[in-house]
Amino acid sequence: MFGSLNCKSDPVDPDSLPAWTFQSPTAPYSVEVPGQWAQTPVEEINRFADLALRVEDQYFLIIIPQKLPQYEGVASPDALDLKRASVGVLKERVTEFNVEREGPLELNGQPALSVFASGVHEGDPVKYINTYTTHDSWGFQIIAWGPASNENGLVEATDKLLAGLQFKGVSAADGVEPGAQESADSE
């Protein structure tokens, strides 16, 4: 009687899932999170993270904001400084951690650095996409990882999330501080 029912469901198109917004309670940013990403308790992944996400048990992403030290006469750390410190920690903690390529990019108008790396976690090859930027005396580490066998999926899911990152006080459209440019009709 039930033999003709097909209980298997078709995979859900990630783009059909509704996005949601995460507003940091501690740092000056928010992110429009694509619906395929689900929030998970930060304690399960990294206690320093402000936001921890997962796509099923395939991809993981954390955002670690940190207030940067300010000393008179000394330049604040920049994205390159954050990258150096973070990559150093990853080299110590991840088996066979290897930086494959890196380069500049922009996040919501802010200069950033992206690092693509590989390593081994519990015997499985893993790919990492680490992005570093600073804004308004804050540093941000955005670290995504997933199985090496699906690097393209990890890149696509991470790019969609990074596109939704917004720093408080910066317009997503042009990366400038609101009010920094007067419109012609403001009089």
CA 121/CA 146 separation, integer angstroms = 10
pLDDT of 171:
42
pLDDT digits (tens, 9 = 90+) for 89-114: 999 999 999 999 999 999 998 999 99
- Predicted TM-score (pTM) of the model is 0.81
Residue entry with tokens 């997933």: 146
Looking at residue 146, its amino acid is G
Which residues in the chain show pLDDT less than 50?
A: 1-9, 170-187
Tokens in use for 51? 């936001």
Give the CATH architecture of domain 20-167.
3-Layer(aba) Sandwich (3.40)
Classify the C-alpha dihedral 103-109-111-114 as positive or negative. negative
Looking at residue 62, its amino acid is I
Q: Domain locations in the chain?
A: 20-167
pLDDT of 75:
82
